[in-house]
Structure 1
Amino acid sequence: MKELQKLVSGLNKSGALNGFLGGVAGGGVSSLLSGKKSKKTGKKAVKYGALAAVGGLAWKAYKQYSEQSQSASQHRDSQAYEQAMAKRSHSHRTFDFQPASMPEQSFEQVVEDDTGSGQLLLMRAMIAAAYADGHIDETERQKIFAQVETMTLSVQEKAMLFDELRAPMGLSELVSAVPNAQTGIEVYAASASAIDLTQTVSLQYLQALANQLCLPRELVNSIHQQLDTL
């Protein structure tokens, strides 16, 4: 899955992900995680590029959300989260974002999966988000096609991404492909990174994504706060 960051860069609208890529190139992604693991993170940044940065941001946002969960305001938000979960009782897919229940390693494993499924899911989430504002025209699409052709992906992986670029997966399909809570946080972070946050339709897309993933409001806020620091 080398050079996936080239495609990520081509999809980015807001400029936030370019900050990710610049940080990765300069080793700055290590600041997203604890200092104790900076050397380990640096190696991952080289191997996984922007996707490692997305995972680091997701973990930092979750950590911040966990620390805030002890406040009375967070308690009220937890009640709202439980109500949102109840509304999804018709669905067999639910996610538990209980504060401080997920270790950092679980976020790292999303992109380190040997099958590459986590990496591809984040890429598919970025493509779907980039299309949400309807601003990718045929010229931009052809540029992305050209970028994918230069990437060291398998034929099957390239075909999958080409299919996504021609017909991005729908929101419900994307959420159905999310296997667990930590991946859900990373999917949202990746989507928010690849979307134009100045567009109303983009904000509506992110709100719908957060609702379907049952992301607590404070956790969503933490993700955006981390994006703002890039």
Structure 2
Amino acid sequence: MNARGMLEELMKQAGSRGKRSPDPRRLVPGSALGILLGTHRGRRAGRRAIQYGALAGLGTLAWRAWQSHQAGRDTSETAVPDDGEPLEQLQGEALEARSMALLKAMIAAARADGHIDAAERAQLVEQIDALGADPPLLAWVDEQLQAPLDAGQLAMDADSPQAAREMYLASVAIIDVQNPMERAWLDQLAASLGLGSEVVEALEARTANGG
């Protein structure tokens, strides 16, 4: 399984639980998505059900947030040549690269408050292995789990403004914005990605209301 396949599996889990089964307590804590979301730590269930449901339509939600932000502004700013395509429209190597960037952002967000310890890290790798990941992907995930948190380095994986918005949205879906450490990470990431406060607000609003 490549990075794209792993991301699709996580998004499929998020969609099925965030929309058809909105009770996050039904999410198995030991699953890959459960560990990333930290549901085993007793976070506020109702709100997180909405948040992680946003992962299912990540690219589209990020694009809609941008359109909402641009509403009423100079139409010349609405679409720029290098704005980038939403995740759902990518194919081949471009899709694989975007998938890796989003997975990296999600893993970093899950680590923002330092709660993934050695045991949980091993459990996450085990769950990803159960999804059918190949050895190179498993090694890559383990590397991301141990690498220093660096928002600037992470932002270098954003190949377009659309990619930056998707990476931020994926991070918001994972994070508890009321946690000071996690909020601080989001602020660092937004600055590194070059996202202004109005865009950030639009993205967070989309995550909070599920669309």
TM-score by length of 1: 0.66
Note if 1:10 corresponds to 2:14. Answer: no
- Give the Cα separation in 2 of the matches to 1:192 and 1:209: 10
**Alignment partner of 1:200 out of 180, 183, 187:** 180
Q: Superposition pairs for residues 13-28 of structure 1, below 5 Å?
A: 13=38, 18-19=49-50, 23=53
Identity, in percent, stands at 26
**Alignment partner of 1:150 out of 130, 142, 153:** 130
**Alignment partner of 1:64 out of 65, 68, 78:** 68
Asked whether the equivalents of residues 55 and 108 of structure 1 are also in contact (C-alpha less than 8 Å), the reply is: yes
Query: Taking structure 1 as reference, are residues 168 and 139 closer, same or farther at Cα in structure 2, changes over 3 Å only?
Result: same
Q: CA deviation at 1:106?
A: 0.8
Q: CA deviation at 1:168?
A: 5.2
Which amino acid letter does the alignment assign opposite residue 107 of structure 1?
A: P
- Give the Cα separation in 1 of the matches to 2:49 and 2:130: 19
Query: Taking structure 1 as reference, are residues 17 and 60 closer, same or farther at Cα in structure 2, changes over 3 Å only?
Result: farther
Please report the RMSD computed on the Cα atoms of aligned residues, expressed in angstroms.
2.7
Q: Deviations over 1:77-114 (max 9, x none)?
A: xxxxxxxxxxxxxxxxxxxxx4343799811357x331
**Alignment partner of 2:150 out of 157, 162, 170:** 170
Query: Taking structure 1 as reference, are residues 189 and 102 closer, same or farther at Cα in structure 2, changes over 3 Å only?
Result: farther
Asked whether the equivalents of residues 83 and 162 of structure 2 are also in contact (C-alpha less than 8 Å), the reply is: no
Q: CA deviation at 1:154?
A: 3.2
- Give the Cα separation in 2 of the matches to 1:172 and 1:196: 21
Aligned length: 175
Q: CA deviation at 1:142?
A: 2.4
- Give the Cα separation in 2 of the matches to 1:146 and 1:168: 22
Q: CA deviation at 1:219?
A: 0.8
- Give the Cα separation in 2 of the matches to 1:103 and 1:61: 17
Note if 1:113 corresponds to 2:91. Answer: yes
Q: CA deviation at 1:166?
A: 2.4
Which amino acid letter does the alignment assign opposite residue 69 of structure 1?
A: R
Q: CA deviation at 1:197?
A: 1.2
Q: Superposition pairs for residues 201-216 of structure 1, below 5 Å?
A: 201-216=181-196
5+ unaligned residues in a row in structure 2: which ranges? 11-30
Q: CA deviation at 1:54?
A: 1.6
- Give the Cα separation in 2 of the matches to 1:212 and 1:166: 21
Match of 1:190 in 2: 170
Which amino acid letter does the alignment assign opposite residue 86 of structure 2?
A: F
Asked whether the equivalents of residues 148 and 158 of structure 1 are also in contact (C-alpha less than 8 Å), the reply is: yes
SS at match of 1:54: helix
SS at match of 1:58: helix
Q: CA deviation at 1:210?
A: 1.0
- Give the Cα separation in 1 of the matches to 2:82 and 2:66: 10
Query: Taking structure 1 as reference, are residues 169 and 155 closer, same or farther at Cα in structure 2, changes over 3 Å only?
Result: farther
Asked whether the equivalents of residues 127 and 168 of structure 1 are also in contact (C-alpha less than 8 Å), the reply is: no
- Larger Rg belongs to: 1
- Give the Cα separation in 2 of the matches to 1:162 and 1:155: 11
5+ unaligned residues in a row in structure 1: which ranges? 24-28, 30-49, 71-97
Asked whether the equivalents of residues 51 and 209 of structure 2 are also in contact (C-alpha less than 8 Å), the reply is: no
SS at match of 1:132: coil
